[in-house]
Copies of this chain bind each other. A is one copy, B any other.
Amino acid sequence: MTPASENTGLAQLRSACSRCSLARLCLPMGLSESQTCRLDNLVEPSAPLHADDHLFRIDDPFTTIYAVRSGCFKSYVVDGEGREQVLGFHLPGELMGLDAIYTHRHRRNAVALDTGTVCKLPYADLTRLATEMPQLQQQIMRLLSKDISTLENMVADHTADERLAGFLLGLSSRYHHRGFSATRFRLAMPRRDIANYLRLAPETVSRILARFQADGLIAVERRDMELLDTERLRQTAGEAHHLSAPVFD
């Protein structure tokens, strides 16, 4: 192998947002090709992670923002009584760690739900680049602002039916934007995590999924989900259109 091809190989391995199929969903969204190349130099790809591998834990010093490259991740906190509280599921192209900017320490734990990889973005380098690149600054602020909008959606007091319907529609939309089917997908997370995320009991999730199925809204078999009647599902969700963080629309 020649040094030249070695370099090319290394550059590809080093990340190449410019060639990443997720670029239009991720941090490079809206950046020009040359701007994306400058971003490439910051990004460091991770070794493959496996289920239960943690990316960071609460109170870890905040140095890095993580972008999901493949797989599905979960972020959560643990309260004083040891109860887990799921705060989000993160699909490829989505960022994790943004809420740590304020405290300089992570405010959540982040863990892989299955095998996956991430891109690491050193925050100091990222902000330095952002001062030189107004579009990147804009993009970071837009992503922060979007997280706020999504959380605002979460705080509304929806019924269990609305929450679950909204969650399924949100997942559907996110998978669709990534080139997967909007109506058939595999749930990366157990019922327990879905229930916890939606602030419901696992039993409630099971019961409602069963009823949705009886009503012909969905066909569900363990982790395999099919949306049969998205229109009625949307009516059921009501205001909770996209109960699934972060939202892409």
Closest to A198 in B: B157
Number of copies of this protein chain within its complex? 2
Interface string of A74-109 (1 = CB under 8 A from B): 000101100001010000000000111111000110
Q: Find residues 142-199 in chain A having any chain B CB closer than 8 Å to their own CB.
A: 142-149, 151-152, 154-157, 199
Contact B138 A141 (CB under 8 A): no
Q: Which residues of B contact A131 (CB under 8 A)?
A: 130-132, 134, 137
Instruction: Give the size range of A's interface with the partner.
Output: 35 or more
* A238 CB–B CB distance under 8 Å: yes
Contact B199 A157 (CB under 8 A): yes
Known: A152-B87, A154-B155, A155-B155. A101 touches B145 (CB 8 A): yes
Contact of A127 among B79, B134, B151, B155 (CB under 8 A): B134
* A31 CB–B CB distance under 8 Å: no
Contact B141 A127 (CB under 8 A): yes
A146 to B100, CA, bound (A): 8
Contact A102 B146 (CB under 8 A): yes
Report the 8 A-B pairs with minimum CB-CB distance, sorted nearest first.
Answer: A101-B145, A151-B151, A102-B145, A144-B144, A157-B199, A102-B146, A99-B148, A79-B239
